[in-house]
């Protein structure tokens, strides 16, 4: 804990200073609450009973985690397919690049049209935004293997799947994990966008409703909750990376 504190002291000092300046500025300039609420007001809204936070938090967390898992699983599977077979690579890559060039946010209304309100379409939007880097990094990690290492596989007559299992897939772990960090943030964007477009629950829905009621402190509180979920997912990936691939150089 002490070491954690020393390591993160600069960030903590800056954070406290910024929040302090915000608090001072709001009272010094007499800011109206619906324009910019002070940190203390936001804090009160965060714990307030005015909004049933638990329910909204649960829905949005579910969407974000679902989107993240879906993007991870589909992304890794497609990456393996591309690295496994040149024919599959030729078939899939142009299609994936095309999907990636679509502005995914613009697809959100279609998803809602097809799948209706609810958790699933928002998960899909998040997954759609987040899966591409996983595919690319998986494929790259599987192919960036020393030629000499592959020679060893040939010399020992190892079948292709065994070379994947013993050499290529472990080699790809750090690549996949660094893509998942990007996916963690993309999943948050997707879930919130989906909720903006159409929903009756979730933190994105809470933010939309405050527009009408000018309840800006609640919008800020929702933002805080969203970043808490985002940080938690991101932190989980960082921890997983340390556990799964402690031998890789960490780049956070």
Partner 1 sequence: MSDLIVLDRVGMVYTTASGSVEALREISLGVGAGEFAALVGPSGCGKSTLLRIIAGLRPATSGAVAVAGRPVDGPLHAVGMVFQVPVLLKWRRVLDNVLLPAELAGLDSRRHEHRARELLRLVGLDGFADKYPRELSGGMQQRAALCRALLLDPPLLLMDEPFGALDAMTRDELNLELLRVWGEGNQRRKTIVFVTHSIPEAVFLADRVVVLTPRPGRVASIVPVSLPRPRTVASRASGDFGALTLQIHESLTRAQPPGR
Q: In three state form, how does the secondary structure of 58-101 look?
A: HHHHHHHHHHHHHHHHHHHHHHHHHHHCHHHHHHHHHHHHHHHH
Nearer to partner 1, 13 or 239 (CB): 239
Q: Find out whether 62 and 119 touch, Cβ atoms under 8 Å.
A: yes
Task: Tell me the closest approach of the beta carbon of residue 72 to partner 1, in angstroms.
Answer: 20
Task: Tell me the closest approach of the beta carbon of residue 82 to partner 1, in angstroms.
Answer: 22
Task: Tell me the closest approach of the beta carbon of residue 163 to partner 1, in angstroms.
Answer: 7
Largest CA distance in the chain: 76
The two tokens of residue 37 are 């609420």
> Could you tell me which of 125, 76, 123 has the C-alpha nearest to residue 103?
125
Torsion sign over Cα 198, 202, 207, 211: positive
Nearer to partner 1, 22 or 173 (CB): 173
Q: Is 38 helix (H, G, I), strand (E, B) or coil?
A: coil
Nearer to partner 1, 46 or 248 (CB): 248
Task: Identify the residue whose tokens are 């997954």.
Answer: 127
Task: Tell me the closest approach of the beta carbon of residue 80 to partner 1, in angstroms.
Answer: 18
How many CA within 13 A on the CB side of residue 44?
Answer: 9
Please return the burial class of 7, using the count of CB atoms within 10 Å of its CB with bins 0-12, 13-18 and 19+: exposed
Interacting residue ranges for partner 1, rule: CB under 8 A: 146, 148-149, 151-159, 162-163, 166-167, 170-171, 173, 245, 247-248
Nearer to partner 1, 131 or 164 (CB): 164
Chain CA centroid to CA 11, Å: 22
Q: Find out whether 38 and 32 touch, Cβ atoms under 8 Å.
A: no
Task: Tell me the closest approach of the beta carbon of residue 166 to partner 1, in angstroms.
Answer: 6
Task: Tell me the closest approach of the beta carbon of residue 203 to partner 1, in angstroms.
Answer: 38
Nearer to partner 1, 193 or 245 (CB): 245
Nearer to partner 1, 111 or 164 (CB): 164
């Amino acid at each position: 804990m002490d070491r954690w504190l020393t390591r993160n002291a600069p960030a903590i000092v800056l954070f406290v200073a910024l929040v302090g300046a915000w608090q001072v500025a709001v009272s010094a300039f007499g800011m109206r609450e619906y324009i910019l609420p002070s940190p203390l007001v936001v804090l009160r809204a965060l714990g307030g009973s005015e909004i049933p936070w638990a329910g909204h938090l649960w829905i949005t967390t579910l969407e974000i985690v679902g989107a993240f898992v879906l993007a991870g699983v589909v992304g890794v599977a497609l990456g393996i397919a591309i690295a496994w077979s040149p024919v599959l690579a030729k078939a899939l890559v142009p299609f994936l690049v095309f999907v990636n060039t679509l502005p995914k946010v613009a697809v959100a209304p279609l998803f809602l049209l097809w799948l209706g309100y609810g958790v699933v379409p928002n998960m899909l939007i998040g997954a759609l935004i987040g899966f591409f880097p996983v595919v690319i990094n998986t494929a790259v990690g599987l192919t960036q293997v020393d030629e000499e290492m592959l020679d060893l596989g040939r010399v020992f007559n190892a079948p292709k799947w065994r070379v994947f299992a013993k050499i290529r897939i472990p080699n790809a772990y750090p690549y996949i994990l660094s893509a998942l960090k990007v996916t963690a943030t993309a999943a948050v964007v997707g879930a919130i966008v989906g909720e903006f477009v159409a929903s009756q629950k979730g933190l994105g829905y809470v933010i939309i409703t405050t527009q009408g009621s000018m309840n800006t402190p609640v919008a800020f509180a929702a933002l805080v909750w969203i970043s808490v979920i985002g940080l938690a997912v991101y932190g989980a990936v960082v921890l997983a990376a340390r556990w799964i691939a402690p031998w890789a150089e960490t780049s956070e």
